[in-house]
């Protein structure tokens, strides 16, 4: 199946886990993938794996919790690929904390990456996606609906992603 032939796709969180698997799958189905993450080592592994398997992938460092790095990464993706057809927001973090002992720093970090980062990525990519009649895929979690013991910030962030989407 070659569902993504000729498509230019940005995937956040592509250095590992679901983001890496997503990037690899898209490339295996013909898409050109631009991988974003904070881990240079992980990005290098992902892109080398994709290119070795015959796919086309590129990467840039990007902290989705930082608008400036998002803008730089999106420019790099457009300079490399020429256009954008799909944005896949996978990047996310989780740190379990007992609610009454949770820290404001933990709350702000998780909300900043999981929710605000998803919002910023969408906002920065929408002009290009409108031009290509493209799509956005935002990854949420079942904890958005059911909550998560010791994971209030994570559940709230993913609930926000679901509502945003």
DSSP track, 81-97? HSS--EEEE--------
Query: Quick count: other Cβ atoms within 10 Å of Cβ 64?
Result: 27
What CA–CA distance (Å, rounded) separates 135 from 89? 11
Choice among 60, 154, 156, 157 that is catalytic? 154
Q: Is 154 a catalytic residue?
A: yes
What's the DSSP call for residue 32? E
* Edge-to-edge strands, sheet with 135-138: 56-61, 32-37, 8-12, 86-89, 135-138
End-to-end Cα, the chain, rounded Å = 27
Catalytically active residues, by annotation = 154
């Amino acid at each position: 199946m070659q569902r993504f032939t000729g498509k230019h796709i940005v995937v956040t969180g592509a250095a590992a886990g679901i983001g890496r698997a997503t990037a690899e799958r898209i490339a295996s189905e013909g898409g050109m993938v631009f991988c974003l993450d904070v881990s240079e080592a992980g990005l290098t592994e992902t892109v080398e794996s994709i290119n070795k398997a015959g796919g086309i992938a590129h990467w840039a460092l990007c902290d989705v919790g930082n608008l400036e790095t998002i803008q730089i990464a999106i420019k790099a993706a457009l300079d490399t690929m020429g256009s954008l057809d799909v944005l896949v927001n996978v990047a996310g973090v989780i740190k379990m904390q007992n609610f009454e002992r949770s820290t404001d720093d933990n709350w702000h970090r998780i909300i900043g990456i999981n929710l605000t980062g998803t919002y910023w990525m969408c906002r920065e990519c929408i002009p290009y996606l409108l031009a290509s009649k493209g799509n956005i895929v935002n990854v949420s979690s079942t904890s958005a609906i059911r909550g998560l013991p010791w994971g209030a910030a994570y559940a709230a962030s993913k609930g926000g992603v679901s509502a945003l989407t």
